[in-house]
């Protein structure tokens, strides 16, 4: 018990402030921050989210975040992206596409990080699947399905 309590305090004994994890309600703010960084992003939501809990909300947020971060890192400045969140009673389909802004072969995780692997793990935790790859001509597409029942 002392170890668990110790995790919530710094070495001086002062409680560590915990911020809530992001979720579905934070996707609009994420999109706005990335727009401010130079991306043109259309956000489309279809249907109504289920009562899937904060863990599911975090997983959805992180998939969208990673896909858009990859657009920012690998597409040319001024790239156009579209995020579609299609809510169904038992699952969500997430699609993030970009136009590549002239790039025909974006390379995911080129800096040694594991963004696609992280997305796969999050999606797999919800009995889902992830597809990611180049679009015909130019750009990139990420499609994830997370299942909740």
Distances (CA, A) of 59 to 36, 71, 92, 124, 130: 23, 19, 11, 10, 13
**What range defines the domain where residue 110 resides?**
21-147
Residue 73 is predicted with a pLDDT of 85
Residue 84 lies in a domain: yes
Residue 68 lies in a domain: yes
Residue 3 lies in a domain: no
pLDDT tens string for the chain (149 positions)? 444 444 455 556 666 667 889 999 999 999 999 998 888 999 999 999 999 999 999 999 999 999 999 898 887 777 899 999 999 999 999 999 999 874 544 444 444 446 888 999 999 999 999 999 998 888 999 999 999 97
Residue 82 is predicted with a pLDDT of 97
d(CA 113, CA 121): 14
Residue 29 lies in a domain: yes
81: CATH? 3.30.565.10
Structure tokens at 142: 């990420």
Verdict on whether the full-model pTM lies above 0.75 = yes
Residue 32 lies in a domain: yes
Q: Which residues pair with 94 in a beta bridge?
A: 85, 144
Total structural domains within the chain: 1
Torsion angle (degrees, nearest 10) of CA 141, 144, 145, 148: -150
Residue 79: strand, helix, or coil: coil
Residue 2 lies in a domain: no
In the structure, how many helices (H) and strands (E) does the chain have?
Answer: 4, 5
Residue 1 lies in a domain: no
Residue 16 lies in a domain: no
């Amino acid at each position: 018990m002392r170890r668990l309590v110790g995790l919530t305090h710094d070495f001086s004994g002062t409680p560590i402030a915990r911020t809530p994890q992001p979720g579905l309600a934070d996707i609009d703010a994420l999109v706005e921050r990335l727009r401010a960084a130079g991306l043109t992003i259309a956000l489309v939501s279809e249907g109504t989210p289920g009562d899937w809990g904060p863990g599911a909300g975090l997983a959805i947020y992180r998939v969208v975040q990673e896909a858009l971060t990859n657009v920012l890192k690998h597409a040319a400045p001024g790239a156009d992206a579209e995020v579609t969140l299609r809510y169904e009673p038992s699952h969500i389909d997430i699609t993030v596409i970009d136009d590549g802004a002239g790039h025909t072969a974006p390379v995911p995780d080129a800096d040694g990080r594991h963004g696609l692997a992280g997305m796969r793990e999050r999606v797999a935790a919800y009995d889902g699947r992830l597809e990611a790859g180049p679009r015909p001509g130019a750009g990139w597409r990420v499609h994830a399905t997370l299942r909740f029942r």
